[in-house]
Amino acid sequence: MPISKPFQRWVAGCLLSALSAAAIAQAAQPHVVVLATGGTIAGAGASAANSATYAAAKVPVEKLLAGLPELSQVAKVTGEQVFQIASESFTNAHLLQLAQRVSALAKQADVDGIVVTHGTDTLEETAYFLNLVVRSSKPIVVVGSMRPGTALSADGALNLYDAVSVAASKDSAGKGVLVTMNDEIQSGRDVSKTINIKTEAFKSQWGPLGMVVEGKNYWFRAPVKRHTTQSEFNIDEIQALPAVDIVYGYGNMNTTGIEAYGKAGVKALVHAGTGNGSVAAQAVDALKALRAQGVQVVRAARVPDGFVLRNAEQPDDKYDWVVAHDLRPQKARILAMVALTKTRDSKELQRIFWEY
Ligand code: DAS
């Protein structure tokens, strides 16, 4: 029996309205850009049993996104391959290029959030750098994985899904650069990689900001240190980063490293001391000599948690040294580099370490 014209028109109308509803829904979806830089989240192993033995930085961003069709339920996602490297090989040039790209995208009206996929080794340094210099309140989320996508119980897919859903959420705005790993939403400032062979690898001594579960954010605190739109630093005004390096304190400490960095022309030296940032008696004069040459001395601690007290283990006022507060040495280096693009004054430097 032929189908009547009115019925055909009714069916066509229903299809059109369904299609237009889907199109409207798609058009209304937030646009998240995924900037891929490499790392284990783009890694590949020889077999599913290889959760720790694999090659990082192999899978291109298109393949990462194609392998996660569920992303389309969360946002309109586009990808860019900025680098394809293991993050232990990041340089200051990589940091500057990535931050410039993030900043440019954040300025675009058609971009609602940005995700950076990154190796886990220096993820915490990049996240803190972006937190300091990208002047945007839009969600910027850095994400990695501890296992390659080829491994049994790989963590990358859910980490990436979580990162995109956090970056697509309006309530993620204004919280500084975020890191999503293992269901937690961490502050890019506070978080560090604390374990090198577990998926629950990223911790902050001050705790996560929240959790993300099935694409929904559950917030429990907000950052109090200056970041992004509250920062006095701006990647658009930074063309180069000064040399800042780190020496560790330990039993039988000597001054070879301190003197070598002085000769190499560092602008600041982070001393990761024992305990509360203690400096071995035999190293004090070498650090004082560096200060006399105009090099800033930043007293941090090799002890992961707590914070360094000014004038406790060393007379910082007398020596004109700076303390790193609760920042781990690798984060103190990032802040010192950024701060030195603005000031060479140690009192200003100490203010910056209190505020960021
Ligand atoms: N080599 C590590 C890196 O790229 C792999 C990883 O954990 O992402 O940081």
Average pLDDT over residues 68-94: 97
Residue 302 is predicted with a pLDDT of: 98
Q: Does the pLDDT value for residue 19 go beyond 70?
A: no
Ligand 1 lining (C-beta closer than 6 Å)? 39-40, 56, 86-88, 119-121, 144
Tell me the Cα Rg of the chain: 24
pLDDT surpasses 80 at 1: no
Q: Which atom of ligand 1 is nearest to the CA of 121?
A: 9
Strongest mean pLDDT among 25-34, 45-54, 67-76: 67-76
pLDDT of 63 higher than 90: yes
Q: Which atom of ligand 1 is nearest to the CA of 118?
A: 8
Return the ligand 1 atom nearest residue 86 CA: 4
Pocket test for ligand 1, best of 64, 98, 116, 120 (most atoms within 8 A of CB): 120
pLDDT at position 174 over 90: yes
pLDDT in tens, 276-333: 999 999 999 999 999 999 999 999 999 999 999 999 999 999 999 999 999 999 999 9
What's the mean per-residue pLDDT of the chain?
A: 95
Residue 54's pLDDT is 84
Reduce the secondary structure of 243-268 to three states and give it as a string: CEEEEECCCCCCCHHHHHHHHHCCCE
What is the Å distance from ligand 1's center to 91 Cα? 14
- Read off the pLDDT of residues 263-274 as tens digits, 9 standing for 90 and up: 999 999 999 999
Tell me: pLDDT of 27 over 70: no
Please state the atom number of ligand 1 nearest to the C-alpha of residue 146.
Answer: 7
- Residue 65 CA to residue 34 CA, distance in Å, equals 9
Q: Is 256 a catalytic residue?
A: no
Indicate whether 106 pLDDT > 80: yes
Q: Whose CA is nearest to atom 3 of ligand 1?
A: 119
- CA of residue 157 to ligand 1 center, whole Å: 16
Tell me how far apart the alpha carbons of residues 298 and 145 are, in angstroms, rounded to a whole number: 31
Task: Give the mean model confidence (pLDDT) for residues 148-177.
Answer: 96
Share of the chain above pLDDT 90, in %: 86
How does strand 202-203 pair with strand 210-213? Answer: unpaired
pTM: 0.93
Which domains, and CATH codes, for the chain?
30-230 (3.40.50.1170), 243-355 (3.40.50.40)
Query: What is the per-residue pLDDT across 185-240, written as a single tens digit (0 to 9) for each?
Result: 999 999 999 999 999 999 999 999 999 999 999 999 999 999 999 999 999 999 99
Residues 6+ apart with CB under 8 A from 92: 240, 241, 337
Record the tokens describing residue 88, joined without a space.
Answer: 């232990």
The model's confidence at residue 26, banded by pLDDT at 50, 70 and 90, is low
Instruction: Please tell me the distance between residue 144's alpha carbon and the centre of ligand 1 in angstroms.
Output: 8
What band does 11 get if pLDDT is binned at 50, 70 and 90? Answer: confident
Q: Provide the residue type at 235 as one letter.
A: I
Q: Name residue 283's beta-bridge partners.
A: none
Supply the pLDDT for residue 45: 86
Alpha helices in the chain (DSSP H): 5-28, 61-66, 92-106, 123-133, 156-167, 256-264, 281-292, 316-319, 329-339, 346-355
Question: Are 42 and 60 contacting, i.e. CB atoms less than 8 angstroms apart?
Answer: yes
CB 159, CB 184: distance < 8 Å = no
**Any residues with CB less than 8 A from the CB of 38 and at least 6 apart, and which?**
56, 57, 83, 84, 85, 86, 87, 117, 118, 119
Q: Give the pLDDT band (50/70/90) at residue 23.
A: low
Instruction: Indicate if the pLDDT at residue 163 is higher than 90.
Output: yes
Q: What angle do CA 178, 334, 337 make, to 5 degrees?
A: 140
Separation of alpha carbons 336 and 108, rounded Å: 30
How far apart are the C-alpha atoms of 119 and 312, rounded to whole Å? Answer: 36
**Which one of 37, 40, 117, 126 is the catalytic residue?**
40
Three-class SS state of 121: coil
What is the DSSP-derived secondary structure letter of residue 308?
A: P
Classify each residue of 228-258 as buried b or exposed e, where b means 16 or more C-beta atoms within 10 Å of its C-beta.
Answer: beebebebeebeebbbbbbbebeeebebebb
| 46-71 mean pLDDT | 91
Residue nearest to atom 7 of ligand 1 (CA): 120
The per-residue pLDDT for 22 is 63
Given a cut of 90, is residue 15 above it in pLDDT?
Answer: no
**What does the pLDDT read at residue 339?**
98
Reply yes or no on whether the pLDDT at 44 is more than 90: no
pLDDT band at 103; cut points 50, 70, 90: very high
- Interval between CA 45 and ligand 1 midpoint (Å): 13
The rounded Å distance from CA 163 to ligand 1 centre is 17
